[in-house]
């Protein structure tokens, strides 16, 4: 895969899955915008890794829960690189994946759901809107939204999180319908439990073992494992795919 001369924006890319995706794009020659919220040093490390891998990288701090911040960032990217070919919506609202402490449905509040809908959809909605003019101009572009395999198989019912990710898949399908005629593709990548990331660092061994026991490829995903399918969806190899969800969980979900 060659992403030379391609510009990819990856949100939430200073750590975990986002960082692995950014590094993987750079290794294939892309110029990567490493969006992040808090950790300057971590983002700079990812940028350094991108450059070391042979691509280009630039860290851009922007709170993607703010429409203004999104607009400013996209303008800045366009000012620097002149275009955006690939958008990976990876950032999400912090969520504690703790099977023991998760909230039972009857103890949940509607605002928990609202907060996750916002987390999963707000930034994706506004980022998609913001990059659209650049993609439309060239009648090309690939948007990849990061969902979760919990949507198809709620191994642990994290109600509000998984419901919001389900909405994200619905959002992506509609957008694929809308943008297909304009040459822009929209797909989702739905990873299983990815370890280690900040979100999964405290996941207990017995949970991981239980998942591994049901997983044909017999292990948990690492951040690097989920980068490949994102690159595929971003590349010309998948040029005739849109509105799809790729499950990347070692075969736990087959859909």
Partner 1 sequence: MPEVAGHLPGLSTEKVAWHTLTFGEGSEALDVAVPTLDDAQISVLAAHVRQARSSYLKSLPTAQIIATIDRAIGRLLDRNDPWRRKMEALLPRITGYDAEMVRLGLTGYLKTFRAPELNRFIAEDFANPQLLDGFQPTVKGGVAKAVGPELMVHIWAGNVPGLPLWSLISGLLVKAGSIGKVASAEPLFAGWFAKVLGEIDPRLADCLGIVWWKGGDEAPERAVLRQADLVLAYGGTGSLEQIRNRAPATTRFLGFGHKVSFGMIAREALDPSKVWATAHRAAFDMVRYDQQGCYSPQAFFVERGGRVSPSEFSRYLAHELAAFERKFPRRRLSFEEAGRVAAWRNAEEAKALMSSDRQILTDAECAWSVVYVEAPEGLAPSGLNRTVLVVAVDTLEEAVPRVAPLRAFLQTVGIAAPPEAVYRIGALLGDAGATRICALGEMSAPEAGWHHDGRFNLLDLVTMVEIDRSAEIAAEALAPYAD
Which residues are near partner 1 by CB under 8 A? 196, 205, 212-213, 217-220, 222, 225
Which of 179, 248, 173 shows the shortest CA–CA distance to 217?
A: 248
Shortest reach from residue 151's CB to partner 1, in Å: 24
Residue among 88, 70, 37 nearest 226 (CA)? 88
CA dihedral of 182, 122, 166, 242, whole degrees rounded to 10? 10
Distance CA 249, CA 146 (A): 13
Q: How many CB atoms neighbour CB 105 within 10 A?
A: 9
Least gap, CB of 101 to partner 1 (angstroms): 17
Q: Tokens 């979760």 — which residue?
A: 148
Complex with partner 1: residue 28 or 225, whichever CB lies closer: 225
Preceding peptide of 196 cis, ω within 30°: yes
CB of 195 to partner 1, least distance (A): 8
User: Which residue's CB is nearer to partner 1, number 2 or number 209?
Assistant: 209
Q: What distances in angstroms separate CA 15 from CA 19, 196, 201, 247, one per listed residue?
A: 5, 10, 12, 21
Secondary structure (DSSP) of 73-114? HHHHHHHHHS---EEEE---------TTTPPPGGG--HHHHH
User: By C-beta, is 145 or 155 nearer to partner 1?
Assistant: 155
Among candidates 196, 204, 198, 245, which has minimal Cα distance to 220?
Answer: 196
Q: Which is nearer to partner 1, 177 or 217 (CB)?
A: 217
- Report the nearest approach of partner 1 to the CB of residue 66 (Å): 35
Active-site residue identified among 36, 125, 158, 161: 161
Question: Least CB distance from residue 144 to partner 1, whole Å?
Answer: 23
Cβ distance to partner 1 smaller for residue 97 or 171: 97
Cβ count within 10 A of residue 225: 19
195 catalytically annotated: no
- List residues with catalytic annotation: 161
């Amino acid at each position: 895969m060659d992403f030379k001369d391609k510009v990819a924006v990856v949100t939430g890319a200073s750590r975990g899955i986002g960082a692995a995706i950014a590094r993987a794009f750079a290794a294939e020659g892309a110029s990567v915008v490493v969006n992040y919220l808090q950790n300057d040093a971590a983002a700079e490390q990812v940028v350094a890794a991108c450059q070391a891998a042979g691509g280009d990288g630039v860290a851009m701090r922007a709170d993607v829960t703010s429409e203004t911040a999104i607009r400013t960032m996209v303008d800045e990217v366009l000012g620097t690189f002149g275009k955006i070919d690939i958008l990976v919506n990876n950032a999400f609202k912090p969520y504690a994946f703790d099977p023991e402490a998760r909230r039972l449905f009857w103890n949940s509040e509607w605002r928990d759901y609202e907060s996750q809908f916002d987390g999963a959809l707000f930034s994706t909605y506004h980022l998609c809107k913001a990059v659209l003019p650049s993609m439309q101009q060239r009648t090309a572009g690939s948007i990849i939204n990061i969902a979760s395999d919990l949507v198809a198989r709620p191994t642990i019912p994290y109600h509000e999180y998984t419901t919001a990710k389900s909405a994200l898949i619905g959002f992506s399908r509609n957008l694929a319908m809308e943008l297909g005629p304009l040459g822009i593709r929209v797909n989702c990548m739905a990873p299983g439990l990815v370890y280690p990331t900040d979100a999964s660092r405290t996941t207990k061994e017995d949970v991981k073992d239980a998942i591994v026991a049901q997983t044909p490829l017999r292990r948990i995903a690492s951040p690097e494992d989920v980068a490949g399918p994102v690159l595929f969806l971003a590349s010309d190899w998948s040029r005739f795919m849109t509105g799809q969800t790729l499950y990347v969980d070692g075969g736990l979900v087959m859909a």
